[in-house]
Amino acid sequence: MNKVWQVLAGPITIALIIVNFSLQDQGVYSAIIGIIGIQSLFELGLLNVLIGQAGHELPHFSGDGTSDSDVQNESMKRMAELIRYSRRWFAIASILFVALAFAIGWITFQRGNADGWQWPLAFVIPLSAITVFLSPSIAILEGAGFRAEVYRNRLFQMITGSLVVWLGLTLGFKLWVLVLSATVQVGWMAYLTHWRHASFFQQFLVVKQRPFNFSWRYDVAPIQWRSAIVSIVFYIATGLFTVIVINFHSATEAAPLGMTLTVTSAIQMLALAWIQTKYPLVAAMHGARRREEAGTLWRQISVTSTALLVTGLGTLTALIALLPIAETWTSVALVPRFLSVTQVVMLGVGCVLTHAIAIQGFYVLSRRSSPLIGASVLGYGTVAVAVWLGGYYGGTNGLLVGYATAMLIVAFPIHTFAYLKFRSAQPDQTSRA
């Protein structure tokens, strides 16, 4: 249902933005979304690590806290460790996020000579900081077997968030719809973690003993910090496209890029959902040493998700090619709101290769292994240089050429080589005694 709602709601939101926003407003709207996305820098890849770690505990933990077995007790201690340390880190991260987001927002919009961004940004950043703080609890619930409730909660977030955005755009709230959407997100996340499943977390928070064979420092931190480095480099390379164009050019030039990214990001999220919904299950299978079964399932969902992504991007390209015809029917200037067909193709190439690397990375984490940090940093570091230099010298065109070229020639081949080397060293088949 989450996927169906994304498909249905996206066109309505885009239509309302086109009707109610000027090109400059559209560019600022996209840039604020990009600035809020900086929160991924402070998640430091830890959320996927938490899902995997909680998934590995699932086969040993019933979740009701009633068993007195040694395995059960140790599992509870490990889960308690995960919850305490993750909440501690994300409390600090949320504060750091606020400081950096305000700084980047101020610099970006001052250079871009945009208007009307100050108060919406001042409200949306603290609300987004609250979602940063709540996110590890959501990840642990997802890994610990509450996937259905987590996904249902996300569906409710999307539905109510879309409704308030539509209402706000219709009433002329403009950039304030971002504040309304963030408020809805905080409300649903807080309900799930501090009301609906408050007792789940409380049973672990009362555990005072440290686990015998588990510590955050040795079992989580090494994976976390590798994921953190990868997340930072990845975001610098792919998460600031509209911010780059506004910084070096203008909000008006960034508008078609931002609108198109709204669509491609939704398609990417839709495709990646096929991976994310099965990732905790695959991690649990590896925890139970059902590796061959896990590998088979992973290959199936990888093919399905990639096919979905390619189909979605192909459909978008075709629709953009038809915009001149649609303009004659609607008498609305649609072409300036989106990238050109050639630009969408370049963006699509980068998106598909990024998706392939993400699939590889998720599988490595599901094996409770450290991310392929060398390949990721080298690959996405090259992409970052190409994107920022391309954006500086060539605007949107230069940025997209840099993105597609660096992904195709450097990032994807290097990461794939490292991934195949990892798979050959740790095959799916469980060794027999």
Q: Read off the pLDDT of residues 281-319 as tens digits, 9 standing for 90 and up.
A: 777 777 667 777 777 788 888 899 999 999 999 999 999
Q: Are 17 and 245 a contacting pair, CB within 8 Å?
A: no
Enclosing H/E stretch for 119: helix 118-143
* pLDDT for the residue numbered 322: 94
Quick check: pTM over 0.95?
A: no
Using left for φ > 0, alpha for ψ between -120 and 50, and beta otherwise, residue 250 falls in beta
Q: Are 384 and 233 a contacting pair, CB within 8 Å?
A: yes
* pLDDT for the residue numbered 226: 72
* pLDDT for the residue numbered 316: 95
More confident residue, 75 or 153: 153
Give CA–CA dist 22/20, Å, rounded: 7
Evaluate if residue 114 carries a pLDDT over 60: yes
More confident residue, 203 or 28: 28
* pLDDT for the residue numbered 162: 94
CB atoms within 10 A of CB 71: 11
* pLDDT for the residue numbered 291: 74
Share of the chain above pLDDT 90, in %: 51
Give the three-state DSSP class for 322.
coil
HEC profile for 127-176? HHHHHHHHHHHHHHHHHCCCHHHHHHHHHHHHHHHHHHHHHHHHCCCHHH
Query: Per-residue pLDDT tens for 403-422?
Result: 999 999 999 999 999 999 98
* pLDDT for the residue numbered 163: 96
Looking at this protein, which amino acid is placed at residue 37? G
Q: pLDDT grade, residue 112 (50/70/90)? A: low
* pLDDT for the residue numbered 63: 45
What average pLDDT does the segment 103-121 reach? 84
| End-to-end CA gap in the chain | 44
Q: Which of 181, 191, 110 lies closest to 150, judged by CA?
A: 191
Cα of 102 vs its chain's centroid, Å: 21
Q: pLDDT grade, residue 433 (50/70/90)? A: very low
Evaluate if residue 430 carries a pLDDT over 50: no
CB atoms within 10 A of CB 167: 13
Evaluate if residue 264 carries a pLDDT over 90: yes
Mean pLDDT score across all residues of the chain: 86
* pLDDT for the residue numbered 65: 43
298 vs 21, 188, 379, CA distance in Å?
Answer: 42, 30, 24
What average pLDDT does the segment 374-399 reach? 96
* pLDDT for the residue numbered 202: 86
Query: Per-residue pLDDT tens for 29-78?
Result: 988 998 998 887 777 667 877 887 777 666 555 544 444 455 556 677 77
Evaluate if residue 93 carries a pLDDT over 70: yes
Give whichever of 128-137, 359-368, 370-379 has the largest mean pLDDT: 128-137
* pLDDT for the residue numbered 51: 81
Q: Which of 149-158, 183-192, 212-221, 246-255 has the lowest mean pLDDT?
A: 212-221
User: In which residue are the tokens 């140790």 written?
Assistant: 74
Q: pLDDT grade, residue 257 (50/70/90)? A: very high
